[in-house]
């Protein structure tokens, strides 16, 4: 079934019409790569956006002389500067070890009480079901978020840790099966600036190539899905209602 029809049946608002959003990333830069321009559109509309970063980002350098402590410190600073640029007011790092052996189940124990506390109308995160996605932090984060959305409305699961809360819909970024395209033409430049403000990750010799690739992709998505005549940029998401996250084999097609 088409997501537009499901949206209509369940009375779900469009992505940019939600009252608030919680955006959950594996590492301190993924939200910008996957959804930075959409986040800026939301905050420009005075929609409160909160960030959760699962890991401390300690593996964010190939330099053997870099210490984990220094890398973590650098990336925390970058995260704060980017948040200011994008208008993200609340941002928390959960402190899981970047590349560590933590499990989805342990992450869920942390996420469910936090989601109940934030009471988001929309959760955005990385798509863990994109084929060939091999980064364990991305796979574990996306799956733990999706599983948490099933359990955070259950009054027995982690009883006493927050009031049960139903998140109506989830938007996965970095998805191989997108079904929703957001016109981000007016915030595309800010997304790129935000990414480059993660200096330790993107302000390097590869930036022109990488940003050029991302921009070409965003132009293609815009042309193919939003407007074949005008020029513009789009970010793509796999949006599902939470009901589609369990026993719904057709979800990947919707």
Where on the chain is the footprint of Zn ion (CB under 5 A)? 26-27, 30
For residues 98 and 183, which CB has a smaller minimum distance to Zn ion in the complex? 98
Q: What is the spatial distance between Cα 228 and Cα 226, in angstroms, rounded to a whole number?
A: 7
For residues 197 and 244, which CB has a smaller minimum distance to Zn ion in the complex? 197
Nearest residue by C-beta to Zn ion? 27
Least gap, CB of 241 to Zn ion (angstroms): 26
Least gap, CB of 44 to Zn ion (angstroms): 25
Spell out the residues 6+ positions from residue 114 whose beta carbon is closer than 8 angstroms to its own. Answer: 52, 92
For residues 26 and 36, which CB has a smaller minimum distance to Zn ion in the complex? 26
Do 233 and 190 form a contact (C-beta atoms < 8 A)? no
Q: What is the spatial distance between Cα 25 and Cα 126, in angstroms, rounded to a whole number?
A: 7
For residues 53 and 185, which CB has a smaller minimum distance to Zn ion in the complex? 53
Least gap, CB of 27 to Zn ion (angstroms): 4
Least gap, CB of 63 to Zn ion (angstroms): 18
Q: What is the spatial distance between Cα 107 and Cα 126, in angstroms, rounded to a whole number?
A: 15
For residues 26 and 168, which CB has a smaller minimum distance to Zn ion in the complex? 26
Q: From its phi and psi, is residue 87 left (phi > 0), alpha (psi between -120 and 50) or beta?
A: left
Closest of 102, 123, 103 to residue 50, by C-alpha: 123
What token pair was written down for 107?
């992450």
Q: What is the spatial distance between Cα 144 and Cα 123, in angstroms, rounded to a whole number?
A: 12
For residues 27 and 40, which CB has a smaller minimum distance to Zn ion in the complex? 27
Q: What is the spatial distance between Cα 148 and Cα 170, in angstroms, rounded to a whole number?
A: 11
Least gap, CB of 2 to Zn ion (angstroms): 31
Do 75 and 125 form a contact (C-beta atoms < 8 A)? no
Least gap, CB of 77 to Zn ion (angstroms): 18
For residues 7 and 58, which CB has a smaller minimum distance to Zn ion in the complex? 58
Q: What is the spatial distance between Cα 37 and Cα 89, in angstroms, rounded to a whole number?
A: 16
Least gap, CB of 182 to Zn ion (angstroms): 21
Do 174 and 130 form a contact (C-beta atoms < 8 A)? yes
Do 16 and 116 form a contact (C-beta atoms < 8 A)? no
């Amino acid at each position: 079934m088409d997501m537009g029809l499901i949206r209509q049946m369940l009375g779900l608002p469009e992505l940019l019409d939600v009252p608030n959003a919680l955006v959950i990333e594996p590492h301190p830069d993924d939200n910008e790569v996957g959804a930075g321009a959409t986040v800026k559109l939301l905050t420009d509309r005075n929609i409160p956006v909160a960030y959760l970063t699962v890991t401390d980002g300690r593996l964010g350098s190939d330099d053997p002389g870099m210490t984990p402590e220094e890398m973590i410190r650098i990336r925390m600073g970058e995260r704060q500067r980017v948040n200011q640029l994008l208008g993200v007011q609340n941002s928390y790092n959960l402190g899981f070890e970047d590349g560590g052996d933590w499990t989805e189940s342990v992450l869920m124990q942390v996420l469910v009480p936090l989601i109940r506390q934030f009471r988001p109308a929309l959760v955005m995160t990385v798509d863990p079901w994109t084929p060939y996605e091999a980064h364990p932090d991305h796979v574990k984060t996306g799956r733990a978020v999706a599983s948490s959305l099933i359990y955070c409305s259950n009054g027995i699961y982690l009883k006493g840790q927050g009031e049960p809360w139903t998140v109506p819909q989830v938007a996965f970024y970095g998805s191989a099966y997108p079904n929703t395209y957001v016109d981000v033409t007016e915030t595309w430049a800010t997304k790129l600036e935000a990414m480059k403000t993660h200096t330790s990750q993107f302000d390097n010799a590869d930036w022109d190539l990488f940003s050029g690739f991302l921009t070409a992709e965003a132009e293609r998505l815009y042309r193919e899905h939003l407007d074949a005549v005008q020029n513009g940029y789009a970010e793509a998401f796999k949006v599902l209602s939470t009901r589609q996250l369990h026993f719904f084999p057709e979800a990947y097609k919707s």
